């Protein structure tokens, strides 16, 4: 589907934070389509990360709606709005809190179009930030993207850069079906160049680095850690390619499987717990299609600790990625 262009003449690169890029994306879509609304806790003051900064002042409290503290009510209202013809952005603050609103998302939004023969559509974007939030412990640091990728009817997006957070959020708002949009909690202040005119379609990965010795696949903040690992490997004479999935469902099979066929080795890296993580789907698909050698790296199956020394046990470091890559090439 073609994406709506940015306003004429407003295509210059600018440096924005990950949060500012998202706020600008929502602003542009609200300007282009009066059916786009925002609802959630603290959105009127800009959101707890600044991802809605200035929007209520620009569009008013009837389009940027502060809600009570009830995730089930927020998500349920968003589903109802979508079925009535609006395009709501449903703010859940963090994915950990969104678990209180799962029935509305899983059993209503995801299934409505199928169960009612296409008579209803749910063009809803649920923003569910994921990832380890520094010193925030087990109930605020989960990466649950595999849960949503498992569910028919949902598109799942995990942007890693300011540019992708702008372009993919606009694509999600134009999608016409429910999108689970999962930004990383520690990327909000990450700066990057943003070109408003750059359209990034859902379902297309980004090749961050070319390399024929090994293929790395990752997403969200862990893709940035993989970039660091690739740089270390390059200094050791190992040329690793890096693919940032960006969209987990639908994921870009053509790009990933083509790279795996060329390199013969695949290492999938994610911040989520390794057991039953989405990396297993990619690894199995690549092995079945290309016969390549596969490995996975993810967090151990433990709650994220509060103390820094415990929190570190749940992180996948660049050094771990480098060591595993070297093992695969031995």
Identified catalytic residue from 35, 140, 166, 239: 140
| 178 touches 105 (CB < 8 A) | yes
User: Would you call 124 helix, strand, or coil by DSSP?
Assistant: coil
| 279 touches 270 (CB < 8 A) | yes
**Which residues share a beta bridge with 265?**
293
The CA distance from 136 to 144, in Å, is 16
The CA distance from 52 to 21, in Å, is 10
Cis peptide before 165 (omega within 30 of 0): no
DSSP code for 327? H
Annotated catalytic residue 184: no
The CA distance from 162 to 262, in Å, is 30
User: Regarding beta strands 155-157 and 247-249, do their DSSP bridges make them parallel or antiparallel, or are they unpaired?
Assistant: antiparallel
Catalytic residue IDs: 140
């Amino acid at each position: 589907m073609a994406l709506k262009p940015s306003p004429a003449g407003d295509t210059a690169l600018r440096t924005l934070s990950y949060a500012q890029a998202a706020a600008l994306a929502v602003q542009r879509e609200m300007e282009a389509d009066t059916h786009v609304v925002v609802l959630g806790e603290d959105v009127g003051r800009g959101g707890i990360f600044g991802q809605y900064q200035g929007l209520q002042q620009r569009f008013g409290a009837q389009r940027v709606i502060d809600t009570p503290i009830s995730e089930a009510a927020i998500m349920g209202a968003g589903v109802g709005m979508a079925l009535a013809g609006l395009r709501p952005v449903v703010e859940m603050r963090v994915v950990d809190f969104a678990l209180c609103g799962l029935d509305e998302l899983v059993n209503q939004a995801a299934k409505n179009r199928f169960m009612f023969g296409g008579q209803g559509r749910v063009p809803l974007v649920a923003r569910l930030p994921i990832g380890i939030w520094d010193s925030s412990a087990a109930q605020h640091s989960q990466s649950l993207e595999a849960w949503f990728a498992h569910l028919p009817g949902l598109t799942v997006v995990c942007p890693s850069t300011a540019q992708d957070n702008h372009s993919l959020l606009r694509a999600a708002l134009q999608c016409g079906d429910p999108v689970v949009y999962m930004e990383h909690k520690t990327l909000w202040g990450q700066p990057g160049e943003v070109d408003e005119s750059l359209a990034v379609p859902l379902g297309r990965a980004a090749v961050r680095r070319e390399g024929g010795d090994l293929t790395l696949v990752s997403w969200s903040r862990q893709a940035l850690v993989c970039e660091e690992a690739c740089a270390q490997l390059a200094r050791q004479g190992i040329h690793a390619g890096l693919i940032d999935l960006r969209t987990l469902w639908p994921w870009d099979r053509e790009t990933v499987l083509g790279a795996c066929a060329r390199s013969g080795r695949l290492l999938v890296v994610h911040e989520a717990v390794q057991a039953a993580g989405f990396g297993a789907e990619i690894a199995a698909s690549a092995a079945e299609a290309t016969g390549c050698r596969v490995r996975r790296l993810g967090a151990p199956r433990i709650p994220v600790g509060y103390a820094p020394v415990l929190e570190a046990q749940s992180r996948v470091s660049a050094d771990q990625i480098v060591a595993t890559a070297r093992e695969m090439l031995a």
